[in-house]
Each structure stands twice: as structure tokens, then as C-alpha cells.
Amino acid sequence: MRSGFFKQRYADLIVLTDSSAVRLWTGVLLIALVGAPLVFGSYMLSHMTVILFTLVGVLGLTVLTGFTGLISLGQVGFLMLGAYSYAIGVTRLGLPPEAALVMAAVVPAVCGLVVGIPSLRLHGLYLAITTLAFSYIVSAVILAGGKFTGAGRGISIARPVLLGIDLASDRAYYWFCLAMCALAVLITLNVRRSYFGRALVAIRDNDIAARTMGISLVRFKLLAFLLSAALTGVAGAMMAMYLGIVSVESFPFLLSIEALAIIIVGGLGSVLGAVFGTIFILSLPDVVSGGMSLLSGRVQDLMTTSAHEVRSMLYGVAIIAFLRFDPRGLRGIWHDIRHAWVHWPQRY
């Protein structure tokens, strides 16, 4: 019987999991996710697809803000770069979808290096404002791009055939998003347990102490921006495939606030928290809308006519509530439940 979480070897400290139960339930979850399109209807399948490609972008912000402690309000800029890089690649440059998807990661990554340079001297609010300015610069450049970027009209794209698999159907595209999301989760988990990830956490906790220990702040902060932008760019390309059209209006500033709300509600610096937070935040408007549908018609109409404002309000309430009552987020609550279950009934 397992009685604790004591580690005796270094390999035990960095392993993804040493619990057979976790491996079992992870396998069950993956099987359930793969079989979900065979059970759920079109609306639920669409909702789960949005959760999957949103999680890829949230993992990018987790690397930057959760692991490294660098606050960014410009994730929507990297989303736009990824979406437009893919759309321009397949429609303007004639690239195969596979190459365009790689381009959707490379272009934001290069821009992430440029944006990361101010992070070497700026912190907190000043860095957040800098990244926010970057997202507006990206919007302005796209709108001024004329026919090449589609300007205000945008670029229409069709779902591609990737590696011989046609993604035109909703089921096929869901499975593609599931595979990309699983790959992003594995990458982020392995980054966190590597020397690179531990260096990022050291910078987040105390950058002066980290530099004293021999960690290059320049190198690791720029690498954090690079990896974060690459993941977010891929999420932007996936979002573009889902929408079928890429335009500036499809990427409002609310998406950056949504990403921050997800990692705060889920739990900063935790991949599991990013998963919990994504599911919670993206499902929250539907849950509230379902609750309001039981009320008067005027309240229900409010969710339809002012959906954008209501979503912003819900995100703000969620952030304030978790910061006030449990800053650890959903991941902390899950840890308490799991701890109580493992140690029951001795705990009582």
C-alpha cells in the first residue's frame, strides 16, 4: 500500500508519474477522448474542439507566465501571427499544409525573440504593456498589408489534407486537434521537468539568485518567449482551420484576458491547472447561459445581445474569486481532494 510520496533517486524526482493508477486513468481518459466523436453531437464536439486548440495556446502562456513569471498581454498577437502565417502559406505562397503549419510556429517564434528582448530589462506591468503594444502592432501591420494579408477582408481557407488525412469532417478535425493537444501537453510536461524548465522556475522565483547560480537570464528568457510564441502560433493556425477564415476581427483582445484567466483559475505554473482552467473558463459562459435560460426572458436576451460583455464580466469575476478564496486555483483544489482520498480514513 502506498503510504507517501518520498523519492530516493533523482530519476524519481523528474519522472512524469510513478503511479500505476495515474497511468491507468490517463489511458482511460485518452480512450474516452478518442471515442468522444462517436457519442457526442455536433455542438458538444465543436465545444471540445475549441477546448483542445485553446489548450495548446494556453500551454504557451503557461511556459511564459506560469513557469518563467513573465506577464504577457500579447498572446493574441502570436495567435494572429500563427493564423496568418498558415493562411498566407497555403493561399499566397502555395506551400503544402504541413510546411505552412511549421511556418505558423516559426514566424511567431522569431517574433517572440524580438518581443523578448525588452523582457531583459522590463518587469511586471511595464512588460505587460510592451507585449500589449506588440499585439496592436501586429494588427496594424496586417491591416496595412493589402491583398497579401487580406487587410480588413481577411483570408478564406479550407481544412487541409495533412499527412494524407482529410480534415474536412468535424470528427477528423477533432482527432487532429486531440493529437496536437496531446503532443503539446507532453512537450510542456517534459520542458517543466528538464534543466531548461527548472531554470525558468528559478528565474520566476528569484532572478537575482538564479543568475548567481549561473543561469543565463538572457538565454532562458528569450527561449521562454520563443517556445511560448511557437505553441501559441500553432494554436492560431488550428483556430484558423476551425473558423475557415482569418481576419483581425477574429482575434479580439479578450482572447489574451481569457488566456490569463485560464492559467490563474487553473493554477499558475501547472500543466494540469492549464487543462482544468481551459475546461472551466470555456464552459463557464455556457453554464451561466443555461442557468439564465431558466430565468426571465429579458435576462436570457442579455446573454445573446451582450455576450462579449458578459464573458468579460464572467472572466473578471472568476479571477477575483480564485485570487481571493484560493489562489492555488483548481489544481490546488484537486490536490486537496486527491490528498483526502489517498489518506482516507486516517485523515479523519
| Pair 234, 297: CB distance under 8 Å | no
Confidence of residue 1 (pLDDT cuts 50, 70, 90): very low
- How large is the average pLDDT for residues 87-116? 92
Query: Which of the two residues, 242 and 152, has the higher pLDDT score?
Result: 242
- What confidence score (pLDDT) does residue 307 get? 62
Q: What is the pLDDT of residues 202-226, one digit of tens each?
A: 999 888 888 988 888 889 999 999 9
- How large is the average pLDDT for residues 101-125? 87
pLDDT value at 2 more than 60: no
Q: What distance lies between CA 125 and its chain's CA centroid?
A: 21
Residues 222, 191, 342: CA angle, nearest 5 degrees: 140
DSSP string, 164-191: TEE--SHHHHHHHHHHHHHHHHHHHHHH
The secondary structure of residue 204, as a DSSP letter, is: H
pLDDT value at 238 more than 50: yes
Query: Over the chain, what is the mean pLDDT?
Result: 85
Count of residues in the chain: 348
* Enclosing H/E stretch for 93: none
- What confidence score (pLDDT) does residue 299 get? 56
DSSP string, 216-236: -HHHHHHHHHHHHHHHHHHHH
Q: What is the pLDDT of residues 256-287, one digit of tens each?
A: 888 888 998 888 888 999 999 999 888 887 77
Q: What is the value of pTM for the model shown?
A: 0.87
- What confidence score (pLDDT) does residue 63 get? 93
| Cα–Cα distance for residue pair 191/177, rounded to 1 Å | 21
Closest CA to 328 of 251, 242, 279, 270: 270
- How large is the average pLDDT for residues 117-130? 82
Residues 281, 283, 288: CA angle, nearest 5 degrees: 100
Sequence-separated (6 or more) residues with CB below 8 Å from residue 244: 156, 157, 158, 159
- How large is the average pLDDT for residues 98-112? 93
Dihedral Cα 250, 254, 255, 261, nearest 10 deg: -160
Cell numbers 498566407 correspond to: 88
Q: What is the pLDDT of residues 64-78, one digit of tens each?
A: 999 998 888 888 999
Q: What is the pLDDT of residues 82-100, one digit of tens each?
A: 999 999 999 988 899 999 9
Q: What is the pLDDT of residues 139-186, one digit of tens each?
A: 999 988 888 888 778 888 988 888 888 888 889 999 999 999 999 999
